Amino acid sequence: MTTTIDFDPIVLHDFLDAKFGRSDSFALQRISGGQSNPSYFVEHGVQRMVLRKQPNGPILPGAHAVDREFRVLEALYPTGVPVARPVLFHSDPGLLGTPFYLMERVDGRVFTDCSLPTSSCTERRELWMALAEALAAMHTVRPDEIGLADYGRPGNYFERQIGRWTKQWLSSSSDPIPEVDRLSEWLPSNMPLNDGTVSLAHGDYRMGNVIFHPTEPRVVGILDWELSTLGHPLADLGFCAIPWHTSPNEYGGILGLDRAALGLPSEQEFVARYMKINTACAPLQPFHKAFALFRFAVIFVGIADRARQGNAASTNAAELAPLARRFAIRGLEVIEGKHEL
C-alpha cells in the first residue's frame, strides 16, 4: 500500500459523521496499483467503503470522470452485473480538493499478473472463463433499459475513439514514438463496417480490474469505470485479449508462456466462452486487438505525462512510460499476424 493521502482525513471523517451519524471508529488507507483516480479504503463505524476521487492538479477535459463512474454503478447494480453497491457521490471539490464518490467495499481477490501464478492450473482456466462470462453479461444489458441511453454517442464508435486517442497522442509532450504513429495511421483505413451494435463499453476491462470471489472462480466486482461509455462490445473484448499479445514484462501478459503446462486458456477459448453468452456479437478481428493495443499505448503515454507533472496516482508511473512503445509494437505485430494463439 502507498501511504500518500492527498486530502485532509479529518475533513472526510467529519463529512461521514454528518452523513451517517457520528462514529469514533474511522480508518483511511490509500490503495496502491491504480494509475488514474486515487482510491482509498474507508472504514466509518460498521461501514466498509472505497473512495474514488480525481487526482489533484490539472487534468485533461473529460478525464478522470468519477461522476460517470458513479452513474454507471447506480445503473448496473440492480441488474446483477457484478459491481459494488454505490453509496454517494459528492460533486463539490471544496471538500477533498476534487469530486469523489463512495461505494461499498467488495472483498475478494485481484490478480495483476495474467499468468495467475498463485492459482492452481485448474483454477487458472476457470478464472479466465469467469472473466469472459462477466464481460459478456455486462454487454448483454441494454443501456436504454437501465437509464443509460444518453451515456454516450451511439454509432461510429471506433471512428470516434481512434480520433480521440490520436488527438490525445498528438497533444502529448512525449518523445516521438514512430510505432504509435504507424498504428494511428493504419487503424482508420482498416475499420470494419459499422454493424450498428451498441452496448455499454467498460473501456478498461482486464484481469487486474475485477475482483474475484475469495475462494471461487467467479467475478464479484468490476472496477474502474472511468472510461466507460456507449460503444461496441468488441472494443472491450479486444482489450481483454491483450495478454495473449504481450509478454510477462509488458504489464503481466502471457505471450511466450507454456499456456498448456500452466493451465491457461488460448485466446480462441476465451473468446469462445464470451461468444457463448453474447451470441449476437460479431467475430473478433485483428483490427479490434490492434485498436486496443494502440489505445493502451496512448494511455501509457498519458501516465508518463502525469508522472512528469507530478500528478500520477501511482508511484511507479514513470516506469510504465516505455510500455507505450512496446504496446504499439505489439499492435503492429497483430496486424502482421505474428502471434499464434
69: CATH: 3.30.200.20
Residues 164 and 213 in one domain: yes
Query: What integer pLDDT is reported at residue 1 of this predicted model?
Result: 41
Asked if the model's pLDDT at residue 147 lies above 50, the reply is yes
Supply the DSSP symbol for 316. Answer: T
Q: In what order do the strands lie in the sheet with 100-104?
A: 26-30, 39-44, 47-53, 100-104, 86-90
Indicate whether 83 belongs to any domain. yes
Residues 182 and 314 in one domain: yes
Asked if the model's pLDDT at residue 314 lies above 60, the reply is no
State the average pLDDT over residues 148-168. 92
Residues 264 and 132 in one domain: yes
Supply the DSSP symbol for 109. Answer: B
Give the domain range for residue 163: 121-336
Look at residues 230, 208, 227 and name the one whose alpha carbon lies nearest to residue 219.
208
314: CATH: 3.90.1200.10
The number of domains in the chain is: 2
State the average pLDDT over residues 118-134. 97
Residues 54 and 145 in one domain: no
List beta partners, residue 231.
199
Return the ∠ at Cα 161 (arms to 183 and 243), rounded to 5°.
60
pLDDT in tens, 204-219: 999 999 999 999 999 9
Domain endpoint, select from 104, 139, 168: 104
Query: What integer pLDDT is reported at residue 8 of this predicted model?
Result: 95
HSE value, Cβ hemisphere, 13 Å, CA-based, for 202: 30
State the average pLDDT over residues 235-259. 95
Residues 100 and 156 in one domain: no
Indicate whether 149 belongs to any domain. yes
Asked if the model's pLDDT at residue 318 lies above 70, the reply is no
Asked if the model's pLDDT at residue 200 lies above 50, the reply is yes
Residues 131 and 278 in one domain: yes
Return the ∠ at Cα 96 (arms to 94 and 99), rounded to 5°.
75
Q: pLDDT category, 33, cuts 50, 70, 90?
A: low
Q: Distance between CA atoms of 188 and 212, rounded to whole angstroms?
A: 36
pLDDT in tens, 252-267: 899 999 999 999 999 9
Asked if the model's pLDDT at residue 241 lies above 90, the reply is yes
- Share the mean pLDDT of the chain: 91
Residues 74 and 138 in one domain: no
Q: pLDDT category, 34, cuts 50, 70, 90?
A: low
Q: pLDDT category, 21, cuts 50, 70, 90?
A: very high
Domain endpoint, select from 104, 129, 153: 104
Indicate whether 3 belongs to any domain. no
User: What's this model's pTM, rounded to 2 decimal places?
Assistant: 0.89
Indicate whether 77 belongs to any domain. yes
- Hey, which bits of 166-222 come out as E strands? 199-201, 210-212, 219-222
Look at residues 236, 64, 210, 212 and name the one whose alpha carbon lies nearest to residue 141.
236
Residues 187 and 298 in one domain: yes
Residues 259 and 307 in one domain: yes
